[in-house]
Structure 1
């Protein structure tokens, strides 16, 4: 157990801290005064893409002592080095290419290293594509699940979507233009023809919200080539879906009994666990870990 308290929340800065700084997701005017000040005052700025971040820094006339590259491919080596700088008394600001760092990027690994080293981790809030898309979607905002980018392998995609099949809250995904059609096809196959919103280029010049069911959105994309990064907002499961899950034949079975049922039908242990995971709307890994 650990307790972190920050004097910086009252507007003061402290040495040897990790600042998670939100940057614009498109429109530069969305950066906060506090974010600009923090970037100016920090000794080091760690960026996912230094070329992209340098454009932002130049626009706001920010000149850090060191602009450090930190991304998925060098995080194992760079992470400990950044932590060493902070321990030595340097203030470090972590930014992503757009939006809040540590969401669907390696920043979360640096946060874990910092916490393990007893370093204060301070959020500097800013724009976020997923929440921006959610609030304009017209779908329920009472509960939601952020799923980020789906895996690339078909089986892994189906496993993730199956685990979300009965989720009552709205679902949020990130997707690239060259995968959006395939992703919608998987959504249709696994979750059904639900209401969705395709939020494209949020806060940018060509911002666009396409609202409709999955089939309608697929038709739209067939006629309008996907361009730009997407947030896909998906309607949650209906009460009827939830009731169907409660009424399922396996409801009173333990996980082991559920898997054994399929094994008795001739399935291998692996396939039986996979079918059990699909029935229950969870990942196969969850089943495996529970039965260890």
Structure 2
């Protein structure tokens, strides 16, 4: 018996946008999959219900794959693949494996000769970079920055210095409830001539993308509220 495949299933990054951002070929691939790994089973079920694709969500099999997953359990989690069944990995938002624990299962699949099938879908990181006007030839993603003010300032200054040296766009994210605090802190720490881009609520009706110098951000302060955001900077 040949192994099944591992499909990387994109999720929406803004509620109610599935018809605009999830391509038809993703729906076609999904229709043949009954086994899934998800960060949160409840939200995964809700997402699949919104697609109106399956006769019954209850017939689908879900296992949890999140940041706390023990790598030693991956063989058990992906057992359906070794029985010839395809399995789908779904993120809470966006694309599995990008700032997402799905990469654990993807590496396992490669290590065991299992074919990996990434499917096209929305990625807040790429959309933010595309919309920023900053260097898209050389960039780096740094995940979340430290919460401690001293460590935050130290890391941001290091990233700014590295950006200037390498002509590299630095990208990072923050939880929605810290979006305004992070923006305010960046404006205080970064040099006035550094370009700072903020992208929030991407793909939604309230999408916001603005790139400007830190000096201008400081002179025209903004409050974005508790929204998911991507921050990018480029120092020249």
TM-score normalised by structure 2 residue count: 0.81
1:56 deviates by: 2.0
Counterpart check, 1:128 vs 2:123: yes
Q: Determine the structure 2 residue equivalent to 1:166.
A: 162
The 2-side partners of 1:215 and 1:121 are apart by 45
d(CA) in 1 for partners of 2:150, 2:5: 41
Q: Distance in 1 between matches of 2:199 and 2:6?
A: 31
Describe the SS at the equivalent of 1:24.
Answer: coil
Provide the rounded CA distance (Å) in 2 between the counterparts of 1:174 and 1:56: 23
After TM superposition, the structure 1 = structure 2 runs for residues 159-198 of structure 1, keeping only pairs within 5 Å, are 160-164=155-159, 165-167=161-163, 168-184=167-183, 186-188=185-187, 191-193=190-192, 194-198=194-198
Match of residue 9 from structure 2: 21
Q: Residue in 2 aligned with 1:107?
A: 102
Question: How many Å apart are 1:183 and its aligned residue?
Answer: 3.0
Distance 1:183 1:44, change over 3 A: same
User: How far off is 1:41 after superposition?
Assistant: 1.0
Compared CA separation, residues 159 and 135, structure 1 to 2 (3 A): same
Which structure 2 residue ranges, 5 or more long, are not aligned? Answer: none
C-alpha change, 1:131 and 1:99, in structure 2 (3 Å) is same
1:75-94 correspondence to structure 2 within 5 Å: 75-76=70-71, 78-94=73-89
SS at the partner of 2:221?
helix
Deviates more, 1:78-87 or 1:121-130: 78-87
C-alpha separation in 2, matches of 1:75 and 1:158:
33
Q: Which residue of 1 aligns with 2:134?
A: 139
- Relative contact order (alpha carbons < 8 A, sep ≥ 6): 1 or 2 greater? 2
Checking the alignment, whether the CA contact within 8 Å between 1:99 and 1:129 is kept in structure 2 is yes
CA deviation string 1:180-211 (max 9, x = no partner): 34434554465423221211101112112233
Deviation at 1:104, TM superposition (A): 1.2
- CA shift, 1:107, in A, is 0.9
**Which residue number corresponds to residue 233 of structure 1?**
232
- Once residues 237 and 160 of structure 1 are traced to their aligned partners in structure 2, the CA distance between those partners, rounded to angstroms, is 14
Q: What is the CA distance between 1:24 and its match in structure 2?
A: 2.2
Q: TM-score, normalised by structure 1?
A: 0.67
Structure 1 residues not aligned, in runs of 5+: 1-13, 239-292
Q: Retained in 1: the 8 A contact 2:169–2:232?
A: yes
In structure 1, the partner of 2:202 is 202
Which structure is higher in helix share?
A: 1
Report the Cα offset of residue 54 of structure 1.
Answer: 1.5
| Bigger Rg, which one | 1
